[in-house]
Amino acid sequence: MRFPHNRRITQRREFSRVRSKGKTYRGHFMLMGVLQDDEVPDLKIGYITTRRLGNAVTRNRIRRRLRGIFQRLGGNLKKGYYLVVIPRASAAHASSEVLEKEWKWLIHQSGLYQEDQEEQNR
């Protein structure tokens, strides 16, 4: 299943705005840039994978892993935000479980995580 186009950050100016005006959270395997924007009806996400990560196969594998993590865990994120994920070179050698664990930690650090309605009612 493809990720919906209206939930992707595609324009360079959007990436630049998140990087310059947003808050950055750093981990061992990735950086997350977060910017709140009330005009965005849903969460918009973008990935920056540079050649420093490795060849095209390596960069695509990292992007696939990160997209998979977002599809599994992205349903509990607050709306009205831009999220830019920048993997570090060490992400190429990390397992999916380690990347997922760091993803969860960074999301909690940024305050983007919102509990399910069922969990809130308990």
Q: From CA 91, how far away is CA 46, in angstroms rounded? A: 17
Instruction: Label residue 110 by pLDDT band (50, 70, 90).
Output: very high
What pLDDT, on a 0 to 100 scale, did the predictor assign at position 120?
A: 46
Q: From CA 77, how far away is CA 114, in angstroms rounded? A: 6
Across the chain, what does the average pLDDT equal?
Answer: 89
27: number of CA atoms within 13 Å, CB side? 24
Contacts of 97 (CB under 8 A, 6+ apart): none
| Whether residue 114 has pLDDT greater than 90 | no
Q: 40 and 82 in contact (C-beta within 8 Å)?
A: yes
| Whether residue 99 has pLDDT greater than 90 | yes
Who has greater pLDDT, 117 or 42?
Answer: 42
| Whether residue 119 has pLDDT greater than 60 | no
What pLDDT, on a 0 to 100 scale, did the predictor assign at position 121?
A: 43
The CATH number of 5-108 is: 3.30.230.10
Instruction: Label residue 1 by pLDDT band (50, 70, 90).
Output: low
Residue ranges covered by each domain of the chain? 5-108
pTM over 0.75: yes
| Whether residue 107 has pLDDT greater than 90 | yes
